[in-house]
Amino acid sequence: MSKPIEHDYIGLSEQQLPSMEKSSDKKDGLHLKDTELRLGLPGSESPEREDHDQNVLSLKSFVSGAKRGFSDALDGGGNWVFSGGSGGGTEGLFSPRRGGKNNGGKDLSGSDSGSVLKDGAARKPSVVQEKKPQVAATSSHGNGNIAPASKAQVVGWPPIRSFRKNTMASHPPKNDDGDGNAEAKLGSGCLYVKVSMDGAPYLRKVDLKIYGSYKELSSALEKMFSCFTIGQCGSHGVSGGDGLSESRLIDLLHGSEYVLTYEDKDGDWMLVGDVPWEMFTDSCKRLRIMKSTEAIGLVTRKCLLPNK
């Protein structure tokens, strides 16, 4: 019973290998990675692929000897091998949808993400914009298209508690070398702030350092909180693609239903967007997506400061 399954696995891998050979598109690292059983960082060397072949073969031999408690429990062969019947070709097999929703199959969120891989230029902003999975995936896929001045930070790496990270971020190390490095370091690190939304059952946290502008932040927040505006996601929401949710996504900076506000260092609640981005990230302690009706009394910094 297990033999046919093993064979299918081997068959699975063999299916993938030719497509890897064929793919000469080395530039688009993501495509290559789509078809591999591996997630690797930039610079994953080809030699590893050869190991992969050997590993596949040795996998076959050990699986037959290995504990078969599980395979014994399976009913008749192969219904648990997800080979490419549905996937439409090998690209569908292990394509991480976070990197590219471009595989012929289901392309859910319609507009933007669908075009991600086709347009290399479009890729860069999406790296920075999208929150966690995107950042992690892209970094781990080592897409060469991304060449920002500083490396894209991988979420949760190095493994330092956010408590510690936030503490060090707010107390930058004092350098005695006197060449002003302390200021430079202030720019690194991360800065998690809580985001609450009126009516949402729980808070979220965002790292302000990931974003470079208000637009990126707004976009990310929309994605994060969109499931609340759709109404509970009880539908196991097809969250996109049917146009409905897109119209419900709020443009937090300019929309009418909600406004984005933040609490600054002095404890005042301000509207987001009035001050330069850098100043905002320095002074923002927490964010709140407030119903417009509630935000009537809120001031903008322009009003607070004379002659501004």
Partner 1 sequence: MQKKMAYSFPDEVLEQVFSFIQSDKDRNAVSLVCKSWDEIERWCRRKVFIGNCYAVSPRMVIRRFPEVRSIKLKGKPHFADFNLVPDGWGGYVLPWIAEMAGAYPWLEEIRLKRMVVTDESLELIAKSFKNFKVLVLFSCEGFSTDGLAAIAASCKNLRELDLRESEVDDLSGHWLAHFPETCTSLVSLNISCLRSDEVSFSALERLVGRCPNLRSLRLNRAVTLDKIANILRRAPQLVDFGTGYYAAELQPDVFSNLAGAFSSCKELKSLSGLTSLNLSYATIQSPDLIKLVSHCPRLQRLLVLDYVEDSGLEELASSCKDLQELREFPCDPFGAEPNVSLTEQGLVAVSLGCPKLRSVLYFCRRMSNAALVTIAQNRPNLTRFRLCIIEPKTPDYLTLEPLDVGFGAIVEHCKDLRRLSLSGLLTDHVFEYSGTYGKKLEMLSVAFAGDSDLGLHHVLSGCESLRKLEIRDCPFGDKALLANAAKLETMRSLWMSSCAVSFGACKLLGQKMPKLNVEVIDETEPPDSRPESCPVDKLYIYRSVAGPRFDMPPFVWTMGEAVRILH
**CA-derived radius of gyration, the chain:** 24
Closest to partner 1 by CB, 67 or 256: 67
Minimum CB separation of residue 69 from partner 1 in Å reads 4
**Among 208, 238, 253, 295, contact with partner 1 (rule: CB under 8 A):** 238
Closest to partner 1 by CB, 123 or 131: 131
- Asked whether position 223 contacts partner 1 by CB under 8 A, the answer is yes
- Asked whether position 244 contacts partner 1 by CB under 8 A, the answer is no
- Asked whether position 140 contacts partner 1 by CB under 8 A, the answer is yes
**Among 15, 19, 23, 55, contact with partner 1 (rule: CB under 8 A):** 55
- Asked whether position 96 contacts partner 1 by CB under 8 A, the answer is yes
Minimum CB separation of residue 117 from partner 1 in Å reads 15
- Asked whether position 7 contacts partner 1 by CB under 8 A, the answer is no
**Angle at alpha carbon of residue 131, lines to 129 and 135, rounded to 5°:** 85
Closest to partner 1 by CB, 234 or 306: 234
**Among 31, 123, 131, 288, contact with partner 1 (rule: CB under 8 A):** 131
Minimum CB separation of residue 81 from partner 1 in Å reads 8
Sign of the alpha-carbon dihedral angle for 5, 10, 13, 19: negative
- Asked whether position 201 contacts partner 1 by CB under 8 A, the answer is yes
- Asked whether position 268 contacts partner 1 by CB under 8 A, the answer is no
Which listed range, 15-23, 55-63, 210-218, 253-261, lies at the site for partner 1 (CB under 8 A)?
Answer: 55-63
**Among 15, 17, 23, 39, contact with partner 1 (rule: CB under 8 A):** 39
Q: Which of 25, 33, 16 has its CA nearest to residue 141?
A: 33
**Among 11, 148, 156, 243, contact with partner 1 (rule: CB under 8 A):** 156
Closest to partner 1 by CB, 218 or 273: 218
Question: Strand pairing partners for 261?
Answer: 271, 288
Residues 13-32 that bind partner 1 (CB under 8 A): none
Residues 175-194 that bind partner 1 (CB under 8 A): 175-176, 181, 185, 188-190, 192
